[in-house]
Structure 1
Amino acid sequence: MRIPSLKLLQGFEAAARHGNFSRAADELCLSQSAISHQVQQLEQQLGQPLFRRVGRGVELTVAGEVLQQSVRRALDNLQGGLGRIAGYMDPGLVVLVCPAALAQGWLQPRLAELRRALPQLSLLLSTDESARFVDEIDVDIVIADRPLQQPDVMERRWLRDGWLMAAAPELAQRLAALPPERQPSEAGLLCLEDGFTDARAGELFRAHLAGFRRVGIYDDARLLLDAALRGEGLACLPKLLAAEALADGRLQAVAGYPAVDGAQYWLARIQGQPRAAIVAEVYAWLARQTEEA
């Protein structure tokens, strides 16, 4: 069956909601005869009556009730979609995809500085790393742990992460008073599941951390950070994730462990002129962070 036009469905829905063609006409800025004609057309297309007369108004037939429920859901979905589209028309909008741990530990603390530099910015920050394809509609800038190697995209090496041993202040101070070989008797180890298979961190686990009992193994770096902040153990953390907590003293680095490189992040956006000038400005601001680092 051919789907009726939106105009007919809107007229029907208003009449069904009000139970009166005149009030539906007032709402839609039409005449009563126009609403009546729309309902008649819709009934002809569907091959069955949708209303019956009751005094000065109308009430729905069984078929009309079924149709009203479907039309109301469809119109609500459409209205919601239009509302979401409105957000994308903001001239200051920039859609940035970034790993969640990097967004929490490194980017979030710097957003106030970015907004001061670009007051018109409306940042849509996504941690959906499956949305890695840069285009001129959905994604403006991507921060990723490997090159996108996508045609028509400019990308550059960005920040380099590292692995860090850290703990909440009280625990960190107790551990600092002990040589590394005695620290496993004082605390359990918190770590990422990915750390075991990381080419660089793997040696750290096999050698320097081998004596620790693993009290918490996480597949989400944000949960690892939370456990470390709660004082639940010595944590092997990505430096960029821990950056804010180290800066404000909620975490302290524990000395005696070798410096180990972590992920190399890449910064990418569309080649040439982006969708809006502010995209290039945000990209340039992010690029400058490597120079400052």
Structure 2
Amino acid sequence: MSRDLPSLNALRAFEATARLGSVSRAAEELHVTHGAISRQLRVLEESLEQPLFTRLGRGIALTATGEQLRDRVAGAFDQLRDGWAELQHQRHDGPFVLGCASSLLARWVIPRLERLERELPALRLHLSPEEDPLTPLHTQPDAALALAAPPWPSGWVVHALAPERIGPVVSPRYVGLAWLLEGGAASLSEEALLHTSSRPQAWPAWAQASGIAAATLHYGQGFARLFYLLEAAVAGLGVAIAPAQLVQDDLAAGRLLAPWGFQQTDASWILATPRRSNDNRVDALVAWLRKSLA
């Protein structure tokens, strides 16, 4: 019986496409063109004489054969990644790579970076901005700091740090502030609320927890990232919604107010580490983050 394998590049292209659900995202992750990924997928389909993917609306979905191959290939690549990670982590004299979304990085990590480096000098932290640190497009981090809700992605060990609490914030310079304060939280239903496409569920979740019908809310200016949303609020452009820890410095300095309070969500601050990682620096970082987020 032949034990020949197809091209490893083709298998790698298939694994990335199946995991990410997109040829374009697979091409971006592997730093090749869309056409190169498509050609590698055709090689596998021609070898098997059956399709691995089918069109689903504007996206793609795995066929039954594709699902079988995904399960086998994904496990093999996970073993390779874990083995390589173990070899790398046997040396802890290198920097500790922390993946983190840009908004968390800019508004929470960087303002505390000097204290973190002073209190954990052995960590030698290297920050890796990733919009979704649990699905990194660039370097596989030693750990990922995120605001996320279960179910957690496979391949990670999740360390819960603190519950997420969100609430509306507004600048004391906002021209409509006096009217909003007089009307209470219910007056937000008549406000064109600032919002972000990265957290579309934030306003409805807060409203429901605060006894306000989410259907009564309406929205004004939208922003692609939470960081931009909060800068707009600080500039006095309107009322935004934010996790409490990301605005605590602004609240303390008087740049923002939170007159209507914060509500706990089903999400948490987490530090996730690749499964089978044995880096003993993680415990110290988890303890530091829990204390700082308390």
Equivalent residues of 1:104, 1:241 under 8 A apart: no
Structure 2 equivalent of residue 227 of structure 1: 232
Paired with 1:258 and 1:283, the residues of 2 have a C-alpha distance of 24
Equivalent residues of 1:143, 1:266 under 8 A apart: yes
Structure 1 equivalent of residue 162 of structure 2: 159
Alignment of structure 1 residues 57-76 onto 2, 5 Å: none
Structure 2 equivalent of residue 237 of structure 1: 242
Paired with 1:182 and 1:122, the residues of 2 have a C-alpha distance of 48
Equivalent residues of 2:165, 2:262 under 8 A apart: no
The secondary structure found in structure 1 opposite 2:183 is: coil
Alignment of structure 1 residues 276-291 onto 2, 5 Å: 278-289=281-292
After superposition, the CA RMSD in angstroms is: 3.5
Once the 2 structures are TM-superposed, how far is the Cα of residue 167 of structure 1 from its aligned partner? 0.3
From the superposition, tell whether residues 130 and 168 of structure 1 become closer, same or farther in structure 2 (CA, over 3 Å). closer
Alignment of structure 1 residues 75-114 onto 2, 5 Å: 91=93, 93-114=95-116
The answer on 1:190 being equivalent to 2:194 is: yes
Letter in 1 for 2:193: L
From the superposition, tell whether residues 154 and 237 of structure 1 become closer, same or farther in structure 2 (CA, over 3 Å). closer
Letter in 1 for 2:160: R
Structure 1 equivalent of residue 184 of structure 2: 179
Paired with 2:199 and 2:132, the residues of 1 have a C-alpha distance of 21
From the superposition, tell whether residues 234 and 122 of structure 1 become closer, same or farther in structure 2 (CA, over 3 Å). same
User: TM (normalized to structure 1)?
Assistant: 0.54
Structure 1 equivalent of residue 127 of structure 2: 125
Alignment of structure 1 residues 199-238 onto 2, 5 Å: 200-201=205-206, 203=208, 207=212, 213-238=218-243
Paired with 2:112 and 2:166, the residues of 1 have a C-alpha distance of 21
Letter in 1 for 2:242: L
Equivalent residues of 1:105, 1:243 under 8 A apart: no
Once the 2 structures are TM-superposed, how far is the Cα of residue 222 of structure 1 from its aligned partner? 0.9
Paired with 2:170 and 2:115, the residues of 1 have a C-alpha distance of 28
Equivalent residues of 1:191, 1:237 under 8 A apart: no
Identical-pair percentage: 25
Superposed CA offset, 1:269-292 (max 9, x none)? 254631xx54553344224446xx
Equivalent residues of 2:102, 2:129 under 8 A apart: yes
Structure 2 equivalent of residue 9 of structure 1: none
The answer on 1:169 being equivalent to 2:185 is: no
Paired with 1:176 and 1:116, the residues of 2 have a C-alpha distance of 41
From the superposition, tell whether residues 210 and 230 of structure 1 become closer, same or farther in structure 2 (CA, over 3 Å). farther
Letter in 2 for 1:268: A
Letter in 1 for 2:270: W
Match of 2:263 among 259, 274, 277: 259
Once the 2 structures are TM-superposed, how far is the Cα of residue 173 of structure 1 from its aligned partner? 5.2
The size of the alignment, in residue pairs, is 195
Q: Which has the larger radius of gyration?
A: 1
Letter in 2 for 1:226: E
Letter in 2 for 1:93: P
Paired with 2:173 and 2:143, the residues of 1 have a C-alpha distance of 40
Q: Which runs of 4+ in 1 moved over 6 A?
A: none
Letter in 2 for 1:254: P
Paired with 1:216 and 1:157, the residues of 2 have a C-alpha distance of 33
Can you give the 5+ residue segments of structure 1 that lack an aligned partner in the other structure?
A: 1-88
The secondary structure found in structure 2 opposite 1:125 is: strand
Paired with 1:116 and 1:258, the residues of 2 have a C-alpha distance of 31
Equivalent residues of 1:195, 1:202 under 8 A apart: no
Superposed CA offset, 1:230-278 (max 9, x none)? 10111122223323222222111022x672525223222254631xx54
